[in-house]
Amino acid sequence: MNQQQLAALVPLIVFAVFLFFFVWRPQASQMRRRREMLGSLRTGDRVLTVGGLYATIQEIKEDTLTLELAPNIRVKAERSAVQSVRGRQQQKGQ
């Protein structure tokens, strides 16, 4: 490789490093945190859905949740429909 070809390759390498540190790593980290949050959902958790509804988890069956929006108003949703956990109910005996 001559010096001119090497000089043309440097911006490409810099761009690849930029993508890795400022795009790929933060996105992978965010996806990992979301997977952990969805995996740690428990009955009684107060959650916010991706549709903007606040609900309390009443039942969990594999990837299906039964959410209570208000007293006696329950809906079923996929686990992935949860955007964030807003509060956790204290476990009895703690």
Q: What is the CATH number of the domain that holds 52?
A: 2.30.30
Q: How does pLDDT run across 19-54, given as a tens digit for each residue?
A: 988 888 999 999 999 999 999 999 999 999 999 999
| Co-location of 52 and 74 in the same domain | yes
| Co-location of 32 and 49 in the same domain | no
Q: Is the model's pLDDT at 92 over the cut of 70?
A: no
pLDDT band at 94 (very low <50, low <70, confident <90, very high): very low
Structural domains in the chain (count)? 2
Domain residues for the domain of 61 are: 42-94
Helices and strands, number each (H, E), in the chain: 2, 5
Q: How far apart are CA 55 and CA 75, in angstroms?
A: 9
| Co-location of 49 and 29 in the same domain | no
2: tokens are 């001559």
On average, the pLDDT of the chain sits at 90
| Per-state percent for the chain, helix, strand, coil, to nearest 5 | 45, 35, 25
| Co-location of 61 and 21 in the same domain | no
| Co-location of 25 and 68 in the same domain | no
| Co-location of 48 and 34 in the same domain | no
Whether the model pTM is above 0.75: no
Q: How far apart are CA 79 and CA 71, in angstroms?
A: 21
